[in-house]
């Protein structure tokens, strides 16, 4: 049994807390929100973000950061990506040398273009930082539906340790050394999911969705490989797998926000309606900046940014994608003549 601290009590943090508790670990959950701490402690359920999923009686709910961190075998950082750096800054004084932090959020910092693990390493240099990602909506993990994820870590030892902590008969975990590829797949797919939602909101069909998924993973892989990620990662669970579920699922907040934008809402109106952090909105500008920096073509990402931040109509964005210059699907394939 491990002693685990989970920082962040949203839907994903709560679902993973229940999973880890089911696996026999002692779990302490921290939230910065006093009202959330009170609700979880008294109701033993996140009534707003994960209704119907009961917390075990022995799970500790607290607003005390120090007690959540000190003496724990490993930490799970589950705050929304815009708050990763600020939370890591608060955590740093209490984190021991070599203590494992597994980040489970997805995003890229717009100002620095850093992935979340790099932000954590910068703020908590003494930590052993890993990531957990994959097609894994909290609503289904909380209901104990079969799910698969990937742990990325710098060493095989850390990856296999975390694999043994999370794996169960309803949560299969693989390992990978490609932390960068895992994080890029997990953050950039949210931008493509916004596009998929916009297409749904416009009333387009399965053909459109399939096009966005397949061309979307092509964009993600082009950038990811150029940055140093591995192509195998983008064709796996944290690439195409996560992209499929985020573009298609009714649980996807990014798809839902896109759908509302396609229906005519502004970006802010859509985010207010979703009532949770829509991480694709925060990653969209960063994705476009990375594409420019690494000189990679990402037309879907460009059009999503135009709709979100430049007032372009969703229908016009789709038309411009369809009417781009004709080209071969894969330029690495050569004709025989």
162: number of Cβ within 10 Å: 23
Which residue matches tokens 């979880």? 40
CA 53 – CA 9 distance, rounded (Å): 13
Same domain, 48 and 146: yes
Q: Which pLDDT tens digit goes with each residue over 274-331? A: 887 788 888 999 999 999 999 999 999 999 999 999 999 999 999 999 998 888 888 8
Per the domain annotation, does 327 fall within a domain?
no
At residue 78 the predicted structure's pLDDT band, cuts being 50, 70 and 90, is very high
pTM, two decimals, is 0.95
**Mean pLDDT, rounded, of the chain:** 95
Domain range enclosing 127: 3-177
Which of 155, 177, 199 finishes a domain?
A: 177
Mean pLDDT of 56-63: 96
Task: Say which of 49, 72, 106, 189 is annotated catalytic.
Answer: 189
Same domain, 7 and 156: yes
Q: Give how many domains the chain has, as a whole number.
A: 2
CA 207 – CA 227 distance, rounded (Å): 30
At residue 247 the predicted structure's pLDDT band, cuts being 50, 70 and 90, is very high
Judged against a pLDDT cut of 90, whether residue 271 lies above it is answered with no
* Alpha helix positions (H), the chain: 11-22, 34-43, 65-69, 84-91, 116-123, 138-142, 156-166, 179-201, 206-227, 231-234, 242-248, 253-262, 267-274, 279-293, 299-309, 314-322
CATH number at residue 82: 3.40.50.720
Higher pLDDT, 337 or 180: 180
Q: Which pLDDT tens digit goes with each residue over 167-197? A: 999 999 999 999 999 999 999 999 999 999 9
Judged against a pLDDT cut of 80, whether residue 337 lies above it is answered with no
Judged against a pLDDT cut of 90, whether residue 86 lies above it is answered with yes
Same domain, 146 and 189: no
Q: What φ, ψ does residue 206 adopt, rounded to 5°?
A: -65, -35
Mean pLDDT of 133-161: 97
Residues 6+ apart with CB under 8 A from 269: 260
Q: Reduced to 3 states, what is the DSSP secondary structure of residue 74?
A: strand
Same domain, 27 and 134: yes
Mean pLDDT of 198-221: 95
- The answer to whether 189 is a known catalytic residue is yes
Mean pLDDT of 228-254: 95
CA 23 – CA 167 distance, rounded (Å): 8
At residue 213 the predicted structure's pLDDT band, cuts being 50, 70 and 90, is very high
pLDDT of residue 279: 84
Which of 177, 194, 219 finishes a domain?
A: 177
CATH number at residue 240: 1.10.1040.10
pLDDT of residue 330: 85
């Amino acid at each position: 049994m491990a002693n685990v601290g989970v920082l962040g009590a949203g839907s994903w943090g709560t679902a993973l807390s229940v999973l880890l508790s089911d696996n026999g670990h002692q779990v302490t959950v921290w939230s910065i929100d006093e009202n959330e701490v009170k609700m979880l402690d008294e109701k033993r359920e996140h009534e707003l973000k994960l209704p119907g999923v009961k917390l075990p009686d022995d799970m500790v709910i607290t607003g005390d950061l120090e007690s959540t961190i000190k003496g724990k075998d490993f930490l799970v950082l589950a705050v929304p990506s815009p708050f990763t750096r600020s939370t890591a800054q608060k955590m740093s004084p209490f984190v021991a040398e070599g203590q494992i932090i597994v980040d489970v959020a997805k995003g890229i910092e717009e100002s620095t273009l850093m992935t979340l693990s790099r932000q954590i390493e910068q703020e908590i240099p003494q930590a052993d930082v890993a990531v957990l990602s994959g097609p894994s909506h909290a609503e289904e993990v909380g209901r104990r539906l079969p799910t698969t994820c990937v742990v990325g870590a710098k060493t095989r030892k850390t990856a296999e340790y975390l694999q043994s902590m999370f794996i169960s008969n309803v949560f299969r975990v693989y390992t990978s050394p490609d932390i960068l590829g895992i994080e890029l797949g997990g953050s950039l797919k949210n931008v493509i999911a916004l596009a998929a939602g916009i297409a749904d909101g416009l009333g387009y069909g399965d053909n459109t969705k399939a096009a966005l998924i397949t061309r979307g993973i092509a964009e993600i892989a082009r950038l990811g490989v150029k940055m140093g990620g591995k192509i195998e990662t983008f064709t796996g669970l944290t690439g195409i797998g996560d992209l499929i579920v985020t573009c298609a699922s009714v649980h996807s907040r990014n798809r839902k926000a896109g759908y509302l934008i396609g229906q005519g809402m502004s970006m802010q109106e859509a985010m207010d309606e979703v009532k949770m952090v829509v991480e694709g909105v925060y990653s969209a500008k960063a994705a476009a900046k990375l594409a420019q920096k690494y000189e990679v073509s990402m037309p879907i990402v460009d059009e999503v940014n135009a709709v979100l931040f430049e007032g372009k109509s969703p229908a016009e964005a789709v038309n411009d994608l369809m009417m781009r210059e004709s080209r071969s699907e894969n330029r690495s394939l050569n004709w025989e003549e």
